[in-house]
Structure 1
């Protein structure tokens, strides 16, 4: 069962509260003693530890300082900041259509220098052709019952993809071989999309790897995710987008990308798999 957005947020808050309580007890401080050090009412410490009051960034930093673990603060602050935006329902993001979401991420794509992308279900958005993107976004619009602004959303997605050709960006992109075989759109759209992948592979800024069906798995197929400059991760689920910003969690996705990359083939071997997928359309 998919966890609801509200329960996911509350779970993240409880996890943060439990860690803060653990830090206090490891420092051998009672709640009253910690409150005294911080100049707070003891009830504030209790509310934070029971996840009834979310702590501010300054609260977390002061807490860690008082308990002698300043090094813990950055991770905990990132977790707190991510909690409220941890789970963003697609229905809420897309209520005015698909265009807004494409435009919203444009600035992030412009400022990101190093992209790490893994897709297990569809061709990554950055690599999509207009025909493929149109077929995919029409499916998404129909399923989520959003206003029909697909043509404008596709144009915005193509504009966002210009980062492949301008600026100082690098792209380490991995797809499962199954992605090459799933038909999104008709055979003509798929042939054009696969041919475009072969073209993009010649770009010096793009590393495109394919994980073959026959690869002996060292790490299982995961949900689609995008890592932006090792600073944040977007994970795409059916009902929601998860934004991960805690450094230790981001590092897990970076590690997963590295291990998935070790199972992929590149260059001529990847081209052979893409070409075989093209031939299967006949």
Structure 2
């Protein structure tokens, strides 16, 4: 449903995992509640997603079901589910400029970064002025200090020192629509197009464009996401960020990225789409 957070499915899956643990132990909800010393309604609330179990609840649940050997894995799964969805209002308390620096170690240790974006140029490819304009927009929207936008942009561009070195490899897939969203005006966008083509020509970097109007093998362009090797996927939404390292979910995004990449054009064909967007900008 439209009002569900992206982590809701993971929460439901964890609740089902706890329910199955109870059923495998041959316990009714009432019997499990008695063993744990809880009100019987608590079992139902946890299993139907109405209440999130604490770590103590998970340990008591597993012990009551005779599954002490699963406690460590269950606690780890619960922590991951709780950490998957990070609300911007909490994440941004550190400030935009600090968030950019804080994520740098993750980018440094990632050997292959795969990025898909549908609505704007990915942060890794941005110019200073494009990034600063984007951060200013975010600051005004989230009620943050606008004066931090330039520092945040400088910190974001620090990632670009990894491009073309061979220590890290990059594959970027953009919807052509990302080229037409005007961030900062004609001068900023022209500069951004130049930088995009410059980076696309670097070794160990691939930049693909999915043409406008191309028949889709996927239903529609979706939210942008970053894949850090085959270990972590990160998605940003208006109200928060989803981070997920569950192998089955990362595998889903790897397959999705491959399908999107198959629809993209690279090299001179991608350059043509950038130049078409530049020409369209001159006409406006």
Tell me if both proteins adopt one fold, taking TM over 0.5 as the criterion. Answer: yes
Match of 2:27 in 1: 30
* Secondary structure at the counterpart of residue 83 of structure 2: coil
Please list, as runs of the form range in 1=range in 2, the aligned pairs for 1:171-182 lying within 5 A after superposition: 171-182=170-181
Q: Among 16, 22, 27, which residue is 2:14 paired with? A: 16
Q: Bigger shift: 265-274 or 163-172?
A: 163-172
Is the CA contact 2:210–2:263 (under 8 Å) kept in the aligned structure 1? yes
Match of 2:92 in 1: 94
Q: Distance in 2 between matches of 1:167 and 1:30?
A: 56
Match of 1:104 in 2: 102
Match of 2:127 in 1: 129
Is the CA contact 1:78–1:245 (under 8 Å) kept in the aligned structure 2? no
Match of 2:198 in 1: 199
Gapped regions of structure 1 (runs ≥ 5):
none
Report the alpha carbon displacement of residue 105 of structure 1 after superposing the two structures with TM.
0.6
Match of 1:255 in 2: 255
Change (3 A) 1:43 1:162: farther
Change (3 A) 1:178 1:11: closer
Count of aligned pairs: 270
Is the CA contact 1:90–1:239 (under 8 Å) kept in the aligned structure 2? yes
Match of 1:218 in 2: 217
Q: Distance in 2 between matches of 1:221 and 1:162?
A: 30
Report the alpha carbon displacement of residue 92 of structure 1 after superposing the two structures with TM.
2.0
Report the alpha carbon displacement of residue 96 of structure 1 after superposing the two structures with TM.
4.5
Q: Distance in 1 between matches of 2:174 and 2:9?
A: 31
Match of 1:264 in 2: 264
Q: Distance in 1 between matches of 2:214 and 2:96?
A: 36
Is the CA contact 1:211–1:263 (under 8 Å) kept in the aligned structure 2? yes
Report the alpha carbon displacement of residue 3 of structure 1 after superposing the two structures with TM.
4.1
Change (3 A) 1:85 1:204: same
- TM-score, normalising length from structure 2? 0.82
Q: Distance in 2 between matches of 1:253 and 1:49?
A: 32
- TM-score, normalising length from structure 1? 0.83
Change (3 A) 1:237 1:279: same
Is the CA contact 1:175–1:210 (under 8 Å) kept in the aligned structure 2? yes
Change (3 A) 1:139 1:210: same
Q: Distance in 1 between matches of 2:255 and 2:9?
A: 24
